[in-house]
């Protein structure tokens, strides 16, 4: 039992004892009894003094214990707060280190991908030079084929004129057979000249595409440019993949007229966009859509610009990738298939060189449509050009 409680319990008894001693003293006790009573009274006073001092000591100890407990609680709270702050700092630092590691890993992966794409680009550049050389070598004999086909047509016409009097004397049946032979020969030579001209157009497009320098602005038949580069993109895809199955349809504005552009550079941009659309349409045919691959190329004249649209029915572009499609070296194709430069080059040619606009509209799983708008006449060079938002 605590001393305070004990003093409280014996207090009434001490008061009773003191009252009894006072009563005895009042009754006139003997001298010896008075001495005993005085001794008892003295002991009683000492006991009260001791109890009071013990009570005060306990109060001091209690206050000291209370203050010590309070100090310990404060110190414990401060320690817990410091531990929490330090733990939070360690967690933040751990998250920062984790993010830094992820960024470094992504940078390393991007660097490896860029290295592979640069190697592929170098190979493609070498292949382009080789293609240009081969195209030059093919163009010379092809010119002879076309020229001799035209000469042969002239000779056939002269031969018909020379034979007409003799065939009239030879009889109608022999004249009819000879005329049929001349017509067949003329048609065959005409086909040689026609397809030779198509081959010559493809070779000229290849040579223009292989040039590394920019040309000058000049009035150009944009519809013809679209048709030529659509054929070039189609035959290029067929040459790379025998299983390629995509139909290219055109809806070209006949009133477009001559457009002031750099034909070889704009042709390179169109080729990249059309090639990309052909790849997407064929991938969609083999993948999720299951529909026949289709690329629709259209042109139309606007009040102060011309517009070209290239639409495919492929898988579309996911929202998280739309802002990156014009970035250099960004590609969703497997390594070795795409360099990540096609749309970036198209952006540079259309926006920076021709001061136009290129944007994309897409719906995942349904379609992607690139829209190229070129002002007419071409505006003065701008200081800067911002990339478009994809939407």
Burial 14-27 (b: 16+ CB within 10 A, else e): eeeeeeebeeeeee
Tens of pLDDT, residue by residue over 318-354, are 888 888 888 776 676 655 555 567 788 888 889 988 9
Residue 224 counted as domain residue: yes
> 17-26, 30-39, 99-108, 133-142: which has the highest mean pLDDT?
99-108
pLDDT in the model for residue 299: 95
Residue position matching structure tokens 């610009």: 305
Joined tokens for residue 292? 């026949």
Query: 339 or 40, which is more confident?
Result: 40
Residue 380 counted as domain residue: yes
Domain count, the chain: 1
Residue 6 pLDDT > 60, yes or no? no
Average pLDDT, integer, range 142-149: 85
Tell me, what DSSP letter sits at residue 350? I
Residue 265 counted as domain residue: yes
Residue 126 counted as domain residue: no
> Mean pLDDT over all residues of the chain?
79
pLDDT in the model for residue 379: 46
- Residues 227 and 206: their CA atoms lie apart, in Å, by 14
Residue 231 counted as domain residue: yes
Joined tokens for residue 121? 């680009």
Query: 176 or 117, which is more confident?
Result: 176
> Containing domain of residue 305, as a range?
217-391
* CATH number for the domain harbouring residue 331: 3.30.565.10
pTM confidence score? 0.49
Tens of pLDDT, residue by residue over 238-264, are 877 778 889 999 999 999 989 999 888
Residue 46 counted as domain residue: no
Residue 198 counted as domain residue: no
Residue 304 counted as domain residue: yes
Joined tokens for residue 235? 């035959």
Q: Which run of H or E residues covers position 358?
A: strand 357-363
Concatenate the DSSP letters of all residues of 314-360 into one string. S----GGGGGGTTSTT--SSPBTTB-S-HHHHHHIIIIIIS--EEEE
Residue 183 pLDDT > 60, yes or no? yes
Question: Is there a contact between 322 and 360 (Cβ–Cβ < 8 Å)?
Answer: yes
């Amino acid at each position: 039992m605590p001393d305070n409680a004990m003093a409280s319990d014996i207090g009434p008894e001490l008061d009773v004892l003191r009252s009894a001693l006072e009563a005895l003293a009042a009754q006139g006790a003997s001298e010896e009894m008075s001495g005993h009573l005085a001794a008892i009274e003295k002991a009683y006073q000492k006991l009260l003094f001791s109890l009071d001092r013990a009570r005060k000591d306990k109060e001091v100890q209690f206050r000291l214990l209370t203050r010590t407990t309070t100090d310990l609680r404060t110190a414990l709270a401060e320690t817990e707060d410091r531990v929490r702050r330090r733990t939070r700092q360690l967690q933040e630092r751990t998250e920062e280190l984790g993010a830094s590691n992820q960024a470094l890993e992504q940078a390393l992966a991007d660097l490896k991908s860029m290295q592979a794409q640069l190697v592929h680009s170098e190979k493609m550049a070498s292949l382009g030079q080789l293609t240009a050389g081969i195209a030059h070598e093919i163009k010379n004999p092809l010119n002879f084929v076309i020229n001799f086909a035209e000469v042969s047509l002239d000779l056939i016409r002269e031969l018909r004129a020379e034979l007409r009097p003799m065939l009239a004397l030879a009889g109608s049946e022999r004249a009819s057979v000879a005329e049929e032979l001349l017509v067949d020969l003329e048609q065959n030579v005409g086909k040689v000249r026609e397809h030779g001209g198509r081959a010559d157009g493809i070779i000229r497009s290849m040579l223009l595409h292989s040039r590394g320098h920019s040309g000058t602005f000049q009035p150009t038949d944009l519809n013809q440019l679209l048709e030529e580069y659509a054929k070039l993109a189609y035959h290029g895809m067929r040459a790379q993949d025998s299983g390629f199955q995509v139909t290219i349809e055109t809806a070209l504005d006949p009133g477009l007229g001559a457009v002031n552009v750099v034909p070889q550079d704009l042709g390179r941009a169109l080729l990249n966009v059309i090639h990309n659309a052909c790849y997407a349409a064929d991938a969609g045919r083999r993948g999720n859509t299951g529909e026949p691959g289709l690329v629709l190329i259209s042109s139309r004249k606007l009040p102060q610009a011309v517009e070209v649209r290239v639409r495919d029915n492929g898988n579309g572009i996911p929202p998280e990738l739309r802002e990156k499609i014009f970035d250099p070296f960004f590609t969703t194709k497997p390594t070795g298939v795409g360099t990540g430069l096609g749309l970036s080059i198209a952006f540079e040619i259309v926006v920076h060189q021709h001061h136009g606009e290129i944007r994309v509209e897409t719906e995942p799983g349904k379609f992607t449509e690139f829209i190229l708008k070129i002002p007419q006449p071409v505006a003065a060079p701008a200081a800067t050009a911002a990339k478009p938002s994809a939407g």
